[in-house]
Chain A
Amino acid sequence: GIQVEQSPPDLILQEGANSTLRCNFSDSVNNLQWFHQNPWGQLINLFYIPSGTKQNGRLSATTVATERYSLLYISSSQTTDSGVYFCAVLSSNTGKLIFGQGTTLQVKP
C-alpha cells in the first residue's frame, strides 16, 4: 500500500519564524489533505490539495503530484500554531486515508 512519510518529526521555532513541513508519498493519489490536530485531539482541516498550490492566511500548501510530495508552509508562526500536523493521502479504490506519522511543532514565545 501507499507509504506516507513526513519530515521533520519535530520542529521547535521562535514566534515569528517561518517553517516548511514536508510530506512524501509512494504512489499516485487522488486526495491529499493537511490537518492540524488540536490539543483536544480533533483534526482540523487545513487544505485539500491533491495538486497545485493554495493559500489561507499565513498558511499555504503546494503538492507536486508527479514528484509525489507536498509541502505545508507556515509563515510568521504564532504560539497557537503549536501542535501536530498530519498529511493524509487516499489512493483510488481504497476509500481510506493513509496518514503520515505527523510533525510536532512547538512555537515558543
Chain B
Amino acid sequence: KAGVTQTPRYLIKTRGQQVTLSCSPISGHRSVSWYQQTPGQGLQFLFEYFSETQRNKGNFPGRFSGRQFSNSRSEMNVSTLELGDSALYLCASFGGQFQETQYFGPGTRLLVL
C-alpha cells in the first residue's frame, strides 16, 4: 500500500496570506489527524477528521481550519498567517479506531516571512 502523502512539501508565505495543505491517507483509512511541530511547543494536535466530520479538535485559534472529502483526503487551511505559524505540519492516517497504529506523512514545512 502507498503511504500517507502530503503536498506541498515546502512552502514560503508572507504574513497575512493564507495557505492550504493537503493530506492523502493510506487507502482504506477513514481518519486523518493534523499536527503542528515547532521547536518551542513540540508536536501539538490540531484536529481529526473521520468520514468527513471533525471528530476532535485541539487548542488552536479559528484561523486554523480543515475539511475532509468523501475519498478521505483532507485539507487544512491557515488564514491570516503569522510568523509563529512557521512549522512542520504533519498529518496522520488510521482506520478510525483509536486503538490502532497511526501512520504519518512526510510533512509540509511552512515558512512565514
Chain A positions within 8 Å of B, measured between CB atoms, are: 30-31, 33, 35, 40-45, 48, 50, 86, 88, 90, 92, 94-99, 101-102
Find the residue from A45, A48, A90, A96 having the highest chain B CB count within 10 A. Answer: A96
The answer to whether B107 and A42 have CB atoms under 8 Å apart is yes
The answer to whether A99 and B43 have CB atoms under 8 Å apart is yes
Q: A83 to B33: give the CA distance in the assembly, Å.
A: 23
Chain B positions within 8 Å of A, measured between CB atoms, are: 33, 35, 37, 42-43, 45, 48, 55-56, 58, 88, 90, 92, 98-107, 109
Interchain nearest-CB distance for A33 vs B (Å): 7
- Which among A33, A40, A94 is the interface contact of B102 at CB below 8 angstroms? A33
Which A-chain residue is minimally distant from B43 (CB atoms)? Answer: A99
Interchain nearest-CB distance for A40 vs B (Å): 7
Q: A92 to B107: give the CA distance in the assembly, Å.
A: 26
Not counting A31-B98, A41-B107, A42-B104, a sample of 16 additional A-B residue pairs whose C-beta atoms are within 8 angstroms of each other reads: A40-B107, A41-B109, A42-B90, A43-B104, A45-B101, A48-B100, A48-B101, A90-B98, A95-B55, A97-B33, A97-B35, A97-B43, A97-B45, A97-B92, A97-B102, A99-B43
Which B-chain residue is minimally distant from A98 (CB atoms)? Answer: B45
CB neighbours of A88 from chain B (8 A): 43
The answer to whether B56 and A31 have CB atoms under 8 Å apart is no
Using A40-B106, A95-B56 as known contacts, say yes or no to A101 and B42 having CB atoms under 8 A apart. Answer: yes
Interchain nearest-CB distance for A49 vs B (Å): 10
21 cross-chain CB contacts under 8 A: A31-B98, A31-B102, A33-B101, A33-B102, A40-B107, A41-B88, A41-B107, A45-B101, A48-B101, A50-B99, A86-B43, A88-B43, A92-B98, A95-B56, A96-B33, A96-B45, A96-B48, A96-B56, A97-B45, A97-B92, A99-B42
